[in-house]
Structure 1
Amino acid sequence: MTIQQHPSPNYGSRYGWKPDRIVNHITAGSTAAGALATLCDPKREASAHFVIDKDGAIYQLVALDRAAWANGTSISPSDSRYYGHSTLAVVRNRCTNANYYTISIEHVCVSGGALTPEQLTASIELHRYIITEVKRLYGVTIPATREYIVGHSEINPKTKPDCPGERFPFDAILEGLQQKEVQSDTSGTIQIKRGGYYTAKFSGTNATKLQVTAGTGDVVTIVPINRGEDKLAAIVPIGKPGDMAGIYTTSPGGRPVKRFVAQIV
């Protein structure tokens, strides 16, 4: 996963609070450029920690140890953003600004909160990254459940009733987070002699559904093998000595992930 830095001046202190909720949003516009311009404009007084474009590109606007201006709640009962309106008991009981203890993700709008396959894959990866970083930075565990991974409409039901939308794939994100991440037993560069082959093993949830491919098709042939819960792939050289090819795995609906490089010797 690659995160592009696009700093916003719109943020504040957490005032001693530790983040323990991830809040999902859908942008008002349909382009990343528009969203980034709005969330980085000091006159708009709005931001988010991250923006995910429709092609899966991820931008970070605010550091995790700072409060982005995305999920603010008011302490005034007359304000439409009053924390007492939240559908979440934790927001109502904490009686303070929800920005202090949340991390926000904006997804560039498609329709009704639906995500492109690339966005969904990126969102799962980003949620996993946030959970890992919050544990590292604060010692706080964010469980992969709907109590902790929520939508903006649950924080501010009166001002944002349709964010992130009825089609937002909470279930798919949670399912992705609860799966064991695919692991490869090979990394770096491996050398294979002409006339021989190398067998790589990939393990994890649904590993047998992986597609194993080569970045350069005339260097190696790949023979996939399913064995138990693992995916094995025989990498067979067909090119000439010195030729190299990246070896990738792709999950259903996901993006290719480079695992290692095969070099013919």
Structure 2
Amino acid sequence: MHPEMTVKNHRIPSIWYKQTSNLSSGRTLNPSMIVMHYTTGWNGEGSRNWLMGAAGGTSNEGSSAHVVIDRDGTAWQIAPFNRVAWHAGPSRYGDLESLNNHAIGLEFVNSGPLSPDGDGQWIDPYGHRRSDDELNAAGGFIKASHPRVGGLVYAWPNYTKVQLATGYAILKALADQYPISAIVSHEEIDTRGWKTDPGPAFPMESFRQLLGDRNPAPRVKSVTASRLNIRKGPGVGYARIDPPGALDTGTIVRVLSADDVWRLVEVNDGPLSGVRGWVHGAYLG
């Protein structure tokens, strides 16, 4: 691990630092949350430079983060932890909205899902084909479907052990310095219904456990309606996640967050285990 990681003056002195151009001017961040992301890329320095915008020599003017963590465990801090970076987008968690104003963003270098090409290979977000052997050589992968990217089974590259170790050390340093009360995925706070990061290959629960009692454990509930629609967002205006479209009576779910009467849930057992979506909280008991 990295026992030397501490926060001083809103920076971790032991890791590389250069400030991104993409920050909200005149806005102070008092962080209470941490949002976990993947970069949708394979190249750590390239992802770092992109998120730095003009300061990284790129044309990006719309996104940033606080720290980028490469697959070899290297970390780059690109924003002070008291400045508002642009990583959460349209977002909500409980009563909080626009989570850029409340959260530190950590970006882990990972391509995200690769779609099957029908000939035994996988296509990454940039159109490059990767074989099972190539993905295994890069750290392995899991196969999983996800309602936000369609009904196919996708390849999700694993995060490396050294990358996660660096992530744990950074998160612990942040939790020691700031009143962090929640660690969340970009997926569960996204109000547009299409973000999937950091994805099913990421050990979210092990990161949440670092907060101890400060991070409320997801509540386990069961569906009480005969068929309960499960949707891509908190409201009847959002499309149903299909499959499955609806959850049967007795389906066990974990409640991850709330938005008024709506609950973001993850199915906890059976053939639909891992499916996430929004349901009306009145039909959970």
* Structure 2 length-normalised TM: 0.49
Partner of 2:80: 63
Partner of 1:212: none
1:158 and 2:192 correspond: yes
How does 1:34-53 map onto structure 2 within 5 Å?
A: 34-42=46-54, 43-45=59-61, 46-53=63-70
Q: 1:12 aligns with which of 24, 31, 50?
A: 24
Task: From the superposition, tell whether residues 121 and 54 of structure 1 become closer, same or farther in structure 2 (CA, over 3 Å).
Answer: same
1:107 to partner: Cα distance: 0.2
Partner of 1:108: 109
Q: Give the whole-Å Cα distance in 2 for the aligned partners of 1:101 and 1:121.
A: 25
Cα RMSD after superposing both structures:
2.4
How does 1:69-80 map onto structure 2 within 5 Å?
A: 69-73=86-90
Partner of 1:90: 95
Q: What SS does the aligned partner of 1:168 have?
A: coil
CA deviations on 1:162-205 (whole Å, 9 max, x unpaired) are 11112211122234565xxxxxxxxxxxxxxxxxxxxxxxxxxx
Partner of 1:130: 174
Q: Give the whole-Å Cα distance in 1 for the aligned partners of 2:103 and 2:44.
A: 22
CA deviations on 1:106-131 (whole Å, 9 max, x unpaired) are 00006536311001111110101111
Q: Give the whole-Å Cα distance in 2 for the aligned partners of 1:66 and 1:108.
A: 22
1:44 to partner: Cα distance: 1.4
Q: Give the whole-Å Cα distance in 2 for the aligned partners of 1:132 and 1:61.
A: 20
Letter of the 2:199 counterpart: G
Task: From the superposition, tell whether residues 115 and 57 of structure 1 become closer, same or farther in structure 2 (CA, over 3 Å).
Answer: same
Q: What SS does the aligned partner of 1:105 have?
A: strand
How does 1:189-228 map onto structure 2 within 5 Å?
A: none
CA deviations on 1:104-161 (whole Å, 9 max, x unpaired) are 0000006536311001111110101111222xxxxxx214xxxx10011122252642
Letter of the 1:53 counterpart: D
Total equivalences in the alignment: 153
Letter of the 1:57 counterpart: T
1:19 to partner: Cα distance: 1.3
1:13 to partner: Cα distance: 4.6
Task: From the superposition, tell whether residues 59 and 160 of structure 1 become closer, same or farther in structure 2 (CA, over 3 Å).
Answer: farther
Q: For the Cα contact (< 8 Å) 1:57–1:122, is it kept in 2?
A: yes
1:72 to partner: Cα distance: 2.6
CA deviations on 1:13-67 (whole Å, 9 max, x unpaired) are 5745521010000011111111012101243121100000111111100001100
Q: Give the whole-Å Cα distance in 1 for the aligned partners of 2:194 and 2:170.
A: 23
CA deviations on 1:205-257 (whole Å, 9 max, x unpaired) are xxxxxxxxxxxxxxxxxxxxxxxxxxxxxxxxxxxxxxxxxxxxxxxxxxxxx
Q: For the Cα contact (< 8 Å) 1:64–1:103, is it kept in 2?
A: yes
Q: What SS does the aligned partner of 2:171 have?
A: helix
Letter of the 1:170 counterpart: M
Partner of 1:33: 45
Partner of 2:257: none
Tell me the percent identity.
28
Q: For the Cα contact (< 8 Å) 1:49–1:61, is it kept in 2?
A: yes
Letter of the 1:44 counterpart: N
- Per mean C-alpha deviation after superposition, the further-off stretch among 33-42 and 10-19 is 10-19
Partner of 2:206: 172
Q: What SS does the aligned partner of 2:184 have?
A: strand
Larger radius of gyration: 1
* Structure 1 length-normalised TM: 0.52
Q: Give the whole-Å Cα distance in 1 for the aligned partners of 2:75 and 2:209.
A: 20
Q: Give the whole-Å Cα distance in 2 for the aligned partners of 1:23 and 1:160.
A: 16
Letter of the 1:37 counterpart: N
